[in-house]
């Protein structure tokens, strides 16, 4: 029987959870004291089998069924919990799933619950941006965890670098096919960027190693605050040939909404949510203007820069080599 601590990782085949599982399976400082219980809905899929081959104990659980969550957390010292709003785009569902996780952690006697949270934007903006549901839902679960006095830390993931290539940053047919980064905010708007797949685990490692320091605290999951202009400049450094004509272009709100509804096929309320999320960057700050320094001081591992991520991203790599 192993005397190691167990960390239960929800969403272990996803981006954030996968990064957490990976660092606990491979980091020398963690492997001697921790084993990974990786939770996914479907243990037969290839990504789940790969986790098992790497040494994780892979089990199935359903966020809508609290009894399966309790089973997944039994005997665990720490839990990393994340939900996926974008799967159903249903705020009430995400809140309920989050509360199920909190209740299960409480009932299982978990020593350290780490919740992938975000700020309450309706509160932050005094109701000016009332539709950023995927932030508010996670914030309300954080409130609930605090209310029930669960020993918890809150990890606030920044803007995924992986969402830029091929998404907002792509060739623009209206500009001679030049590389263009386009959002409905000014070139000076600030984004807290991070490589979620490579670096989420580094933040959670810091949380676990500094448990007493970070209980009740928020860890801001970002490498750096970059303006849209700086993001384009980073692209130019990595891909000088393509970067000669690269630029930032502010999109009018109506064009941005049309892109999301017409070309991404999302409902109007989701397009409005994404638009308000963009306006958050410029007018209030993704983290309300809070410095990243306090979080960075806890980290032992170097974070991935925007340039490093851009150089290795498959969405750009083949086309730009």
Starting at the earlier edge strand, list the strands of the sheet with 5-10: 57-60, 34-40, 5-10, 78-81, 112-117, 152-157, 218-221
Is residue 35 within a helix (H) or strand (E), and if so which, with residue range? strand 34-40
Is 118 a member of any domain?
yes
Is 243 a member of any domain?
no
Contact 58, 38 (CB under 8 A): yes
- Number of domains present in the structure of the chain: 1
- Distances from the Cα of 302 to the Cαs of 51, 130, 194, in angstroms? 24, 36, 12
Cα separation of 78 and 146, whole Å?
17
Is 62 a member of any domain?
yes
**CATH number of the CATH domain containing 64:** 3.40.50.720
DSSP 88-123: HT-HHHHHHHHHHHHHHHHHHT-SEEEEEE---HHH
Name residues whose C-beta falls within 8 Å of residue 68's C-beta, 6 or more positions apart in sequence: 60, 61, 62
Cα separation of 242 and 319, whole Å?
10
The two tokens of residue 179 are 């590389």
Is 277 a member of any domain?
no
Give me the residues paired with residue 5 across strands: 34
Cα separation of 233 and 287, whole Å?
23
Cα separation of 71 and 113, whole Å?
15
pTM value is: 0.96
Is 247 a member of any domain?
no
State CA 40 to chain mean position distance: 17
Is 292 a member of any domain?
yes
- Assign residue 271 a region (left: φ > 0; alpha: ψ between -120 and 50; beta: otherwise): alpha
Cα separation of 291 and 5, whole Å?
32
Is 42 a member of any domain?
yes
Residue 98 phi, psi (nearest 5): -65, -45
Q: Residue 318: what pLDDT?
A: 63
Domain span at residue 35 reads: 5-159+195-222+287-300
Count of other CB atoms within 10 angstroms of residue 216: 12
Is 26 a member of any domain?
yes
pLDDT by position in tens, the chain (length 321): 468 999 999 999 999 999 999 999 999 999 999 999 999 999 999 999 999 999 999 999 999 999 999 999 999 999 999 999 999 999 999 999 999 999 999 999 999 999 999 999 999 999 999 999 999 999 999 999 999 999 999 999 999 999 998 888 989 888 888 999 999 999 999 999 999 999 999 999 999 999 999 999 999 999 999 999 999 999 999 999 989 999 999 999 999 999 999 988 999 999 999 999 999 999 999 999 999 999 999 999 999 999 999 999 877 766 675
**In the chain, where does DSSP find H-type helix?**
15-26, 28-31, 46-53, 66-73, 85-88, 91-108, 121-124, 133-147, 196-209, 211-214, 228-238, 240-243, 253-258, 268-283, 293-296, 306-312, 314-320
The two tokens of residue 42 are 């479907």
Q: Residue 1: what pLDDT?
A: 46
């Amino acid at each position: 029987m192993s005397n190691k601590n167990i960390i239960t990782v929800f969403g272990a085949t996803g981006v954030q959870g996968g990064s957490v599982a990976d660092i606990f399976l491979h980091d020398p400082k963690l492997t001697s004291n921790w084993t990974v219980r990786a939770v996914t809905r479907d243990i037969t899929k290839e990504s789940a089998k790969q986790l098992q081959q790497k040494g994780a104990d892979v089990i199935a659980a359903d966020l809508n069924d609290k009894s399966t969550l309790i089973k997944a957390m039994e005997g665990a010292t720490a839990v990393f919990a994340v939900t996926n709003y974008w799967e159903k785009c249903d705020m009430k569902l995400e809140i309920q799933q989050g509360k199920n996780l909190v209740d299960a952690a409480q009932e299982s006697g978990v020593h350290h619950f780490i919740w992938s949270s975000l700020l309450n934007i309706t509160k932050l903006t005094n109701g000016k941006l009332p539709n950023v549901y995927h932030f508010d839902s996670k914030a309300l679960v954080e409130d609930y965890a605090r209310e029930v006095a669960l020993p918890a830390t809150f990890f606030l993931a920044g803007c995924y670098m992986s969402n830029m290539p091929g998404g907002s940053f792509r060739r623009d047919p209206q500009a001679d096919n030049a590389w263009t980064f386009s959002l409905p905010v000014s070139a000076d708007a600030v984004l807290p960027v991070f490589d979620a797949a490579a670096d989420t685990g580094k933040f959670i490692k810091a949380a676990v190693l500094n448990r007493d320091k970070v209980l009740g605290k928020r860890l801001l999951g970002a490498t750096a605050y970059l303006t849209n202009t700086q993001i384009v400049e980073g692209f130019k450094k990595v891909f000088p040939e393509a970067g000669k004509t690269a630029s930032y272009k502010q999109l009018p709100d109506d064009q941005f909404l049309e892109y999301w509804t017409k070309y991404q096929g999302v409902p109007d309320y989701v397009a409005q949510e994404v638009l308000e999320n963009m306006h958050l960057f410029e007018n209030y700050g993704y983290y309300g203007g809070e410095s990243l320094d306090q979080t960075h001081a806890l980290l032992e591992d170097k974070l991935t820069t925007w340039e490093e991520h851009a150089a290795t991203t498959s969405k750009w790599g083949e086309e730009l080599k």
